[in-house]
């Protein structure tokens, strides 16, 4: 039985802990914050329960598959509700596009917007399903140590048929002309951290999940997923130490031997780092043991950070759905302010999650729970003055759309931005989503899952393979755990417990 230490308790850390413990090892998770969950933590204030980070539940089969590998079902830990409409895009006060949960209704909606587009949608989604089958069942489970991993005929054929070398933007515009439909089909890749003309068309597989599998909600909030994974980890015998930041990784004879924390050092046979990759390398490891120099990170393309507002309102707000995307501003200008000339946007697009439309437990009766997210560039100067400067304009735009004035009814407000991501997660540049999934940062071209100088140190999470997002993070933890256990078995071939 090996002693395995996990740094960080986000989705990838919890996943890695579960898989390592399933195989009989002694697993300990060290979390710097006081609560489990990483970016998916939760907090309650004045009767409002806020999910601090992820709010979209897509790719339900990935969650099902995770729990199934432990002989469990998703419903053993939380209940899901399918949202209908799944979400809406607001183009101005009078023009919006709601996405129905049923595919037949979706085809009719497309026809209303662009006659003939339902035929194009059928073909588009069929191809997206193929990409999803290849991408989420083959590609993402590769550790990406070598391109040879992708050399089998099915995977290679799948990569070529998935339009890997075309962009999402070019691919979408082959099928749809109406700008509203183009915006709908391009929007999911915003979570991948680059403009649609920089993201490989492989990632239109996300449209399959969004439009065919649908948008779901775990009753009680997204933190129920974390609670479920935490409970499973405890059932498997994992030990957790919260409020315990790791200060240093101790190395001896070319292997990691222990973690140094404020409470002392803890010996281990292997480490999986779910904390920020850059932080682990630059702050916890001596220079000679790092995969990459500091300059490597400054040259990478990062997904955005976010300006988030957690808001409690003591009245109901009309017309908002659980998920509403406000595309009532110049998308190209906002994207340019993130990726081309990084600066605070003049008039940003933003996203509103209003879970109280679905869940009575997240707000007091008759009130609304709002999570407002504005994508912004990383490494900007983050001040309270800047945060406050955006607030009134955003609230005014929501009021104009909803026909409900509620600024004076806001009884709770908290902002969260770049400085908080750095303080809470040691996030490089205050990034929120990790590395952008550009072609030059795909698979083998991402930061390596393994430390190339220390055979028993592996990395997991949004800065390594397979990439940003909750399902990929869960998969990343699984792959990292499997690769560490392989490394330990190879080192101790006669010790069958490893």
Whether 152 shows a pLDDT value over 80: the answer reads no
pLDDT 10s digits, 158-210: 666 667 678 899 999 999 999 999 999 998 877 677 788 888 888 899 999 99
Across the range 262-282, mean pLDDT stands at: 98
Tell me: pLDDT of 495 over 60. no
The DSSP annotation for 440-490 comes to: GGSGGGSPPSB-SS-TTEEE-STTSSS-SSHHHHHHHHHHHHHHHHHHHHH
Which residues, at least 6 apart from 280, have a Cβ–Cβ distance to it below 8 Å?
A: 7, 249, 273, 459
Q: Could you give the CA distance from residue 335 to residue 348 in angstroms, rounded to a whole number? A: 9
Which of 128-132, 174-178, 227-231 shows the lowest mean pLDDT across its residues? 128-132
> How far, in whole angstroms, is CA 152 from its chain's centroid?
29
pLDDT band at 496 (very low <50, low <70, confident <90, very high): very low
What number is the average pLDDT over the span 474-487?
98
Query: Residue 4 and residue 269: Cα distance in Å, rounded?
Result: 6
Question: What is the pLDDT, as a whole number, of residue 439?
Answer: 85
Q: Do residues 142 and 149 make contact, with C-beta atoms less than 8 angstroms apart?
A: yes
Mean pLDDT of all residues in 20-28: 97
Average of pLDDT values for 460-478? 96
Confidence of residue 157 (pLDDT cuts 50, 70, 90): low
**Look-up of token digits 């949202």:** 83
Specify the residue for token string 């919890």.
Answer: 14
For 240-263, the pLDDT digits (tens) are 999 999 999 999 999 999 999 999
Residue 62's pLDDT is what?
98
Q: Which residues pair with 216 in a beta bridge?
A: 57, 82
Instruction: Report the distance separating Cα 486 and Cα 23, nearest Å.
Output: 12
Tens digits of residue pLDDT in 326-351: 999 998 899 889 988 999 999 999 99
Query: Measuring CA to CA, how many Å separate 126 from each of 103, 121, 130, 211?
Result: 12, 8, 7, 12
Q: Residues near 242 by Cβ (< 8 Å), separated by ≥ 6?
A: 9, 31, 33, 34, 35, 36
Kindly state the average pLDDT of the residues 471-496. 88
For residue 498, the model assigns a pLDDT of 42
Share of the chain above pLDDT 70, in %: 96
Does residue 396 carry a pLDDT above 80?
A: yes
Instruction: Give the containing element (helix H, strand E) for 106.
Output: helix 103-113
- Coil, helix or strand for 253? coil
Tokens 């073909």 belong to residue: 123
Q: Can you list the alpha helix ranges (DSSP code H) found in 114-250?
A: 117-137, 153-161, 168-173, 179-186, 205-208, 223-235
Share of the chain above pLDDT 90, in %: 86
* Rounded average pLDDT over 125-150: 90
Contact 225/51 with Cβ under 8 angstroms? no
H-helix segments, 299-429: 331-339, 384-402, 418-425
How does pLDDT run across 348-371, given as a tens digit for each residue?
999 999 999 999 999 999 999 999
Q: Dmax of the chain from CA atoms? A: 70
The angle that helices 117-137 and 103-113 make with each other, rounded to 10 degrees, is 130
Alpha helices in 26-94 (DSSP H): 60-68
Handedness of CA 425, 429, 433, 436 (dihedral sign): negative
In this prediction, residue 493 has a pLDDT band, given cuts at 50, 70 and 90, of low
Q: Is the dihedral of CA 11, 16, 19, 25 positive or negative?
A: negative
Checking if the pLDDT of 91 tops 50, the result is: yes
What pLDDT does 497 receive? 45
- Which residues, 6+ apart, have CB-to-CB distance to 346 below 8 Å? 333, 337
State yes or no: pLDDT of 155 exceeds 70.
no
342 HSE (CA, 13 A, CB side): 16
Please report the pLDDT score of residue 156 as a whole number: 65
């Amino acid at each position: 039985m090996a002693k395995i230490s996990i740094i960080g308790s986000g989705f990838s850390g919890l996943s890695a802990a579960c898989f390592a413990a399933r195989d009989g090892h002694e697993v300990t998770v060290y979390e710097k914050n006081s609560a489990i969950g990483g970016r998916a933590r939760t907090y309650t204030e004045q009767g409002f329960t806020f999910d601090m980070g992820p709010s979209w539940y897509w790719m339900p089969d990935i969650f099902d598959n995770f729990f199934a590998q432990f002989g469990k079902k998703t419903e053993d830990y939380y209940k899901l509700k399918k949202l209908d409409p799944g979400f809406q895009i607001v183009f101005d006060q009078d023009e919006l596009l709601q996405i129905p949960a049923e595919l037949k209704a979706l085809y009719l909606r497309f026809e209303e917007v662009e006659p003939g587009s339902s035929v194009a949608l059928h073909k588009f989604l069929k191809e997206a399903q193929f990409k999803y089958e290849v991408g989420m069942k083959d590609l993402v489970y590769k550790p990406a140590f070598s391109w040879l991993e992708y050399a089998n005929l099915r995977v290679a054929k799948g990569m070529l048929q998935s339009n890997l070398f075309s962009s999402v933007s070019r691919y979408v515009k082959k099928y749809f002309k109406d700008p509203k439909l183009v915006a709908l089909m391009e929007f999911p890749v915003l979570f991948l951290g680059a403009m649609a003309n920089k993201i490989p068309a492989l990632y239109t597989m996300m449209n399959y999940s969004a439009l065919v599998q649908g948008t779901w909600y775990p009753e009680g909030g997204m933190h129920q997923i974390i609670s479920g994974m935490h409970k499973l980890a405890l059932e498997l015998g994992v030990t957790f130490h919260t409020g315990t930041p790791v200060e240093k990784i101790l190395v001896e004879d070319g292997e990691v031997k222990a973690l140094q924390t404020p409470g002392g050092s803890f010996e281990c046979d292997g480490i999986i780092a779910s904390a920020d990759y850059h932080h682990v390398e630059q702050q916890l490891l001596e220079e000679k043991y790092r995969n990459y120099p500091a300059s490597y990170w400054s040259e990478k393309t990062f997904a955005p950070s976010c300006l988030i507002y957690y808001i409690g309102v003591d009245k109901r707000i009309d017309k908002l759905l659980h998920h509403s995307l406000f595309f009532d501003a110049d998308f190209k200008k906002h994207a340019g302010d993130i990726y081309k000339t990084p600066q605070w946007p003049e008039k940003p697009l933003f996203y509103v999650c209003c879970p109280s439309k679905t869940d009575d437990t997240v707000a007091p009766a008759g009130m609304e729970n709002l999570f407002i997210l504005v994508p912004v560039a990383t490494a900007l100067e983050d001040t309270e003055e800047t945060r406050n400067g955006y607030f009134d304009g955003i609230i005014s735009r929501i009021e104009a759309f909803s026909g409900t004035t509620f600024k004076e009814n806001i009884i709770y407000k908290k902002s969260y931005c770049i400085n908080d991501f750095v303080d809470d997660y040691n996030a490089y540049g205050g990034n929120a989503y990790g590395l952008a999934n550009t072609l030059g940062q795909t698979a083998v071209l991402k930061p390596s899952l393994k430390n190339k100088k220390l055979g028993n140190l592996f990395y997991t999470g949004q800065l390594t393979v397979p990439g940003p997002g909750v399902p990929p993070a869960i998969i990343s933890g699984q792959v990292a755990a499997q690769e560490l256990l392989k490394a330990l078995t190879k080192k101790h071939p006669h010790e069958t417990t490893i």
